[in-house]
């Protein structure tokens, strides 16, 4: 269980204009600085705990986290590569730290990815198309150049988080308002997991178009 005093970072609200901006590259000198190393440690800590400080007793694991989501405009993302099934059975998460990540290759094969985001009001989920496999070049937390290949749900998470570094959130990738789903209450969650492909509760065309422009002023 995560202690409440470990939450040194918090998510900025969805209507914060920084979430629509591009993040800055991190220089090698910065990577090795105490400031960036502390940020990485704090992001790893937050990724391993429930993101909402008020719900810290319901500790969980984030599948991904980008620095802009916590108000730091640097190209740093954290990716959990451990499967949900293994974590549910008691396995510890396994995190990749990717600094200045660049997707160098995407498979032509795509699939619909069921996604939510702490930088989008929690009642909205969406179904963008993502490549099923990708290759990424980046720096690790020590500043070493690395190249990695990701597939399946982890590849979708990496693409989601890299989008954040460009000021993009998943509603901007949706083809129509019918792909921007609404969960009115917590009782919808279990049903949604089973029937999300045919979910009929969706946003209006007006709201979808608003979110595509990065405007979340009236989305709560």
**Which residues participate in catalysis according to the annotation?**
161
8 Å CB contact between 136 and 158: yes
CB 159 within 8 A of CB 103: yes
CA distance 134 to 130: 10
**Structure tokens of 195?**
């029937």
Give the alpha-carbon dihedral of 171, 94, 166, 128, to 10 degrees: -30
DSSP class of residue 12 equals P
Q: Is 170 in contact with 156 (CB distance < 8 Å)? A: no
**Tokens 């992001």, located at residue:** 43
Identify whether the C-beta of residue 64 lies closer than 8 Å to the C-beta of residue 155: no
Q: Are strands 64-66 and 129-131 parallel, antiparallel or unpaired?
A: unpaired
């Amino acid at each position: 269980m995560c202690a409440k005093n470990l939450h040194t970072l918090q998510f900025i609200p969805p209507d914060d204009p920084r979430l629509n901006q591009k993040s800055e590259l991190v220089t090698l000198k910065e990577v090795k600085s105490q400031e960036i190393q502390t940020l990485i440690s704090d992001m790893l800590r937050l990724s391993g705990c429930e993101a909402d400080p008020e719900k810290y007793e319901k500790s969980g694991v984030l599948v991904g986290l980008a620095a802009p989501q916590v108000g730091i405009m640097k190209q740093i993302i954290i990716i959990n590569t451990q499967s949900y099934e293994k974590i549910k059975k008691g396995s510890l998460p396994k995190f990749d730290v990717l600094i200045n990540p660049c997707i160098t290759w995407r498979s032509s094969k795509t699939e619909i990815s069921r996604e939510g985001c702490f930088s989008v009001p929690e009642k909205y989920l969406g179904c963008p198309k993502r490549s099923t496999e990708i290759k990424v070049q980046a720096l690790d937390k020590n500043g070493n150049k690395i190249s990695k290949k990701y597939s399946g749900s982890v590849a979708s998470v990496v693409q989601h988080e890299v989008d954040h570094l460009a000021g993009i959130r998943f509603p901007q990738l949706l083809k129509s308002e019918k792909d921007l789903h609404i969960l009115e209450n917590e009782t919808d969650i279990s049903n949604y997991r089973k029937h999300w492909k045919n979910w009929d509760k969706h946003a209006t065309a007006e709201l979808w178009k608003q979110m595509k422009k990065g405007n979340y002023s009236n989305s709560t």
